[in-house]
C-alpha cells in the first residue's frame, strides 16, 4: 500500500491548507490520545501535567506536527528522510510502534473536526496512507 502520485499530491495540497494550524492540530491530537488511550500516558511520566491543552502537551504537539510537516516535504523518500527520527524513536524513545496507529487515528479525528468540508473521504484515505507510511519509516531502525 505505497503512496501513489495522486496520494502524494492530495497530501501536499491538503497540508498546504492546514499547516498553519499545525500546533493546534498537534495539541488536540495528543490531548485526545492521552485521554482516550490512557496507556499512552506511560511515555510521558516525566511531565507534570498531562491534561488536555497543558503546556507540555502544547509544546509536544507542535514538535510532532513539525515532524509530520517535515515528512510531507520528504514524501518521495520517507525512509531516508526520516532516518534520524527513526533512530530517535528506536533507540532513545523506544515507543512501541503500535502506538503510531493510535496517534495517527487521533490526528485524523482532529482533521475531521477542524476541516470538516476539506477532509473528504478522498483526502482521508490519502492522509491515512501517508501517516501509515510515516509510521513505517519511523519503525525502520527498530530491529
Interacting residues toward another protein by CB under 8 A: 31-32, 34-37, 39-40, 52, 96, 98-99, 101-102, 105, 108-109, 112-113, 116, 119, 121-122, 124-125, 128
What are the DSSP calls for 62-86, one per residue? HHHHHHHHHHHHTTT-HHHHTHHHH
Length of the chain: 143
Helix (H, G, I), strand (E, B), or coil: what is residue 26? helix
Copy the grid coordinates of residue 97: 510502534
Alpha-carbon span 130 to 87, nearest angstrom: 20
In this complex, which beta carbon is closest to another protein, that of residue 37 or of residue 44? 37
In sequence order, which residues have a C-beta less than 8 Å from that of residue 103 and are 6 or more positions away?
A: 29, 30, 33, 40, 64
In this complex, which beta carbon is closest to another protein, that of residue 45 or of residue 98? 98
Q: How far is the CB of 119 from another protein (least distance, A)?
A: 7
Q: How far is the CB of 80 from another protein (least distance, A)?
A: 26
DSSP state of 116: T
Q: How far is the CB of 36 from another protein (least distance, A)?
A: 4
In this complex, which beta carbon is closest to another protein, that of residue 76 or of residue 96? 96
In this complex, which beta carbon is closest to another protein, that of residue 1 or of residue 84? 1
Q: How far is the CB of 112 from another protein (least distance, A)?
A: 4
In this complex, which beta carbon is closest to another protein, that of residue 35 or of residue 88? 35
Helix (H, G, I), strand (E, B), or coil: what is residue 52? coil
Helices (H) and strands (E) in the chain, counts: 7, 0
Q: How far is the CB of 116 from another protein (least distance, A)?
A: 4
Amino acid at each position: 500500500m505505497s503512496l501513489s502520485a495522486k496520494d502524494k499530491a492530495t497530501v501536499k495540497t491538503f497540508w498546504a491548507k492546514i499547516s498553519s494550524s499545525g500546533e493546534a492540530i498537534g495539541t488536540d491530537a495528543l490531548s485526545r490520545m492521552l485521554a482516550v488511550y490512557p496507556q499512552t500516558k506511560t511515555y510521558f511520566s516525566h511531565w507534570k501535567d498531562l491534561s488536555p491543552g497543558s503546556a507540555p502537551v502544547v509544546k509536544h504537539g507542535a514538535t510532532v506536527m513539525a515532524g509530520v510537516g517535515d515528512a510531507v516535504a520528504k514524501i518521495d523518500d520517507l525512509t531516508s528522510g526520516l532516518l534520524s527520527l527513526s533512530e530517535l524513536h528506536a533507540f532513545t524513545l523506544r515507543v512501541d510502534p503500535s502506538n503510531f496507529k493510535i496517534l495517527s487515528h487521533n490526528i485524523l479525528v482532529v482533521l475531521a473536526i477542524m476541516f470538516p468540508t476539506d477532509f473528504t473521504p478522498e483526502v482521508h484515505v490519502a492522509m491515512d496512507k501517508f501517516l501509515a507510511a510515516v509510521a513505517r519509516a519511523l519503525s525502520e531502525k527498530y530491529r
